Copies of this chain bind each other. A is one copy, B any other.
Amino acid sequence: MRKGETTRQAILEHATALASKVGLEGLSIGGLAEDLELSKSGLFAHFQSKEALQLQVLDHAAGRFVDSVVRPALTTPRGEPRVRAIFERWADWPRQMPLPGGCFFVSVVSEFDDRPGPVRDRLVQLQKDWLEVIANTVRTAIAEGHFHADADPEQFAHDLYGVMLGYHHAARLLGDPRATERARRAFEALLRAARRPAA
């Protein structure tokens, strides 16, 4: 990696952690320059505008998510084992990328769900891509005969997202010591239902 690229990665890493606490709107090129003892003009050379910075932070976090969760899960055997790998890797993501403000995407979603613009558009695209990866993995489980032919891949993806949001709520806000166990039980219930004929 060129030195400029290494610096850019370091800035994005710091900005991602910071955004998990203060939101993407809370980021500023001047503030980052101060934190990292870099020149403000140097940061402008990297990012041009606050919006460009926000988009790059989003892509940086998404890249980390793909590396830690998506790609390793997709190397596991097709079918239920892969669905399980998605859950396990996803549940482990806060440990892979520990951030002061909790899950980067949960924070950013709530910040941008009513702020139209390029950042929100990119976020929606990333979330839809991820739901599609989950749904496609469920399709492999149907194809392999692990799940019932009537299992609904999009519904499963939607439900699994709800399980993860419920986990985040229980763990981060309520400090529920059983949050992980509850998420695991909710996931097992989804698996059981997918194995059965639809009602």
- Nearest residue (CB) in B for A159 is B186
Report whether over half of chain A's contact residues are helix, strand or loop; otherwise say mixed: helix
Interface residues of A in 140-199 (CB under 8 A from B): 152, 154-155, 158-159, 161-167, 169-170, 172-176, 182, 185-186, 188-189, 192-193, 199
Interface residues of A in 110-126 (CB under 8 A from B): 110-114, 120, 123-124
In the complex, what residues of B have CB within 8 A of residue A164's CB? 162
- Nearest residue (CB) in B for A128 is B174
Whether A55 is near chain B, meaning CB under 8 Å from some CB there, is no
- Cβ of A192 and Cβ of B192 under 8 Å apart? no
B-binding residues in A (CB < 8 A)? 21, 100-102, 106-107, 109-114, 120, 123-124, 127-128, 152, 154-155, 158-159, 161-167, 169-170, 172-176, 182, 185-186, 188-189, 192-193, 199
Q: A102-B114, A159-B186, A162-B186 are in contact. List 8 more A-B contacts (CB 8 A).
A: A109-B173, A110-B110, A110-B111, A123-B173, A127-B169, A189-B189, A189-B193, A189-B199
